[in-house]
Amino acid sequence: MNFFLLDTNAVIHLSRKEAFHHEKIKAKMLEKALQVDVMICISIMSLYELEYGVAHTDNEQIVSESRRIIESIKKDKEITIFSLTEEGAKIFGEIKEQYRKEKGIGKKALQKHNIDLIIAATAIKAGATLVSQDNKDKIFEILKSVRDDFEWEDWTL
C-alpha cells in the first residue's frame, strides 16, 4: 500500500476551487486515486490548523468554507486521519534535532517549524509520502537528505 499524507496546505488547495493550485493538486489526487494500492491520509494536526483558521478569521466566507472542509474530511471514508502517537513523538524529537543541526539555528527560530515537523514525523511513522508545497527554509529537502525514511512530494510543480 502507498500512503500519501496531505499537508494542510494541500488540503486547502484541493478543497477550494478558487485556490491557486487547486487544479494541479486535484489532477494529481485523481491520478493517485485511480491506483489500487493508494491511500490518502491527513494528520490530525491539519484539522487543528483548519480549526485555528476558523477561530482566527472574521471572514464569514472563509469560516463557512473551512467548516465545510473540516466536516467533509471527518465524513470521508476514503481519507484516513492519523492521530499523534508516542512513536511519532520520538521521531519528531529526532527530526527536529536533525533539522536544527543541519540549519545551525537556535530554539526560537526552530519553533516556527513545529507543526511541519510533527506532520513530517507522522508521515515517517506511517511510511507515507508527505504532500506539501510549503517548504519553508527548505525544511523538507533537508529532512529528505538526512532521513532515508522520509519521502516528500510537491504536487504543485
Provide the 10 A C-beta neighbour count for residue 156: 18
Q: What is the pLDDT of residues 83-132, one digit of tens each?
A: 999 999 999 999 999 999 988 888 888 888 999 999 999 999 999 999 99
Q: What is the pLDDT of residues 58-85, one digit of tens each?
A: 988 888 888 888 888 888 777 899 999 9
Domains and CATH numbers, the chain: 2-153 (3.40.50.1010)
| Cα dist from 147 to 44, 61, 68, 79, 123, whole Å | 23, 40, 36, 26, 12
Looking at residue 122, its pLDDT comes to 98
pLDDT over threshold 80, residue 135: no
Looking at residue 82, its pLDDT comes to 96
pLDDT over threshold 80, residue 33: no
